[in-house]
Structure 1
Amino acid sequence: MAQRTAAERAAHNERRRLVQEALQAQREKEAGEEAGARADLADRLAELRLRKQQQQQQPQLAEAA
């Protein structure tokens, strides 16, 4: 009976370990996706700022000409 209990505990511990690994992998995947989304947003923001800067400079260039 003690062996069975030990085997059951070992199986339970293995299941817990596998669940923890799966949860960690999911967290890492989500963190990677979030980092990618943040990078995309940073790129878009930089593009918008550049466009705004260029649009503000165009009237100044026309006046100077």
Structure 2
Amino acid sequence: MAKCAVCGKGVHVGMKVSHSHIRTKKVWAPNLQRVKTIVDGKPVRMYVCTRCLKAGKVNRAL
């Protein structure tokens, strides 16, 4: 679910390391927004990351 429809950016998994060096799993999710876009002349709702929105890679339907 947490994947950008334009660039394909998804979650990253790593380790959170505390001061005492106890390691636990951590997930970094992209900042996705549900936006209405124009695809093949029709308005479609899709999840797009904010980096793609800011770069203008999406034609928004208003």
Per the normalisation by structure 1, the TM-score is 0.21
Q: Which structure is higher in strand share?
A: 2
Per the normalisation by structure 2, the TM-score is 0.21
Q: Whose RCO is larger (CA < 8 A, sep 6+)?
A: 2
Looking at CA atoms only, which structure, 1 or 2, has the larger radius of gyration? 1
Q: Which structure is higher in helix share?
A: 1
